[in-house]
Structure 1
Amino acid sequence: MKSSIYVFVICGLFFAAVGVFYGFYTDFSEMVGFPALLLVGAMALMIGVYLWLTDRRVGRQPQDNEHAEISDADADYGFFSPWSWWPIACAGAAAVAFYGIAMGWWIFPFGAVLGLVALVGLAYEHDRGDHAH
């Protein structure tokens, strides 16, 4: 995690310096690039500070150990059903809803209703049928 901290802090300082240089180069008359570069630098610094605080709280991570195995960084990601069709239904509902936002608002409620049905199906798929607990 230490290398990630260094990368984000260095990128943040770089973008802040480039933003200030860009502002002086354009006499601060072009007000899109200067604030954008400063904001990119601020966001990179925020990520670097977050990683630094997390590293300080958590301690030594497996990726910081040169003799660590790949399996040392494995974590429990939860339980997922490889046979489930509900994520595809969720994706289809999101596609219909976003299509409705882009093409016509009258389509959006259909996508929202399909999304609610898909989310309920995804949440309760282990409570009924062959895989009920």
Structure 2
Amino acid sequence: MKAESALFAGVSLFFAVSALVYGWFSAEPAGTAALAVSCLMSALVAFFLWQRHRKDGPLPQDEKEAPVHVAAGPVAFFPPSSAFPVLAAAGTALLGLGAVYGLWLFLIGAGVLVPGILGFVFQYGSRDA
């Protein structure tokens, strides 16, 4: 996680310099505030990754000569096929359209989205973990 921490620290530095330059040459504060918040958010991620690196030590990805099998973990279960992602996506789209066109379409979207989410959650509920 050392490389990831350095990457996000660089992103934070970029946003900090951009905020300073933008704030100096611009008359409106909204862009400067957005860049400053972006700097703080990326600095938070960099700090988190740095703390995890200090606590957990180097990962296999941090070592140049680490073999691939060292970083391999258990293989997770991936469902072969499911209609629930399509149902959830359609429900989300209808919710968004309902926010624009009216309550009736919003309610239809909620009626489509709820079974999609419940199907996602409980589709393989009886399967042993």
Give, in whole Å, the separation in 2 of the partners of 1:46 and 1:24: 25
- The size of the alignment, in residue pairs, is 128
Cα RMSD, aligned residues only: 2.4
Give, in whole Å, the separation in 1 of the partners of 2:43 and 2:14: 10
Give, in whole Å, the separation in 2 of the partners of 1:41 and 1:80: 36
Structure 2 unaligned regions, length at least 5: none
Give, in whole Å, the separation in 2 of the partners of 1:101 and 1:75: 43
Deviations 1:9-65 (A, max 9, x none): 122123213322332334xx3212222222221122111111111212222112101
Contact persistence 2:2–2:58 (CA under 8 A): no
Task: Report the equivalent of 1:60.
Answer: 58
Contact persistence 2:95–2:110 (CA under 8 A): yes
Letter of the 1:36 counterpart: A
Letter of the 1:42 counterpart: L
Task: Report the equivalent of 1:73.
Answer: 71
Letter of the 2:84 counterpart: W
Instruction: Please list, as runs of the form range in 1=range in 2, the aligned pairs for 1:27-106 lying within 5 A after superposition.
Output: 29-76=27-74, 78-106=76-104
Q: Structure 1 length normalisation: TM-score? A: 0.78
Q: Structure 2 length normalisation: TM-score? A: 0.80
Is the alpha carbon distance of 1:102 and 1:80 closer, same or farther for their aligned partners in structure 2, counting shifts above 3 Å? farther
> More helix by proportion, 1 or 2?
2
Consecutive aligned runs of 4 or more in structure 1 exceeding 4 Å deviation: none
Is the alpha carbon distance of 1:112 and 1:34 closer, same or farther for their aligned partners in structure 2, counting shifts above 3 Å? same
Identity within the alignment, %:
29
Deviations 1:86-127 (A, max 9, x none): 222111211211221233232111111211112223333336
Residue 14 (str. 1) matches residue 14 (str. 2): yes
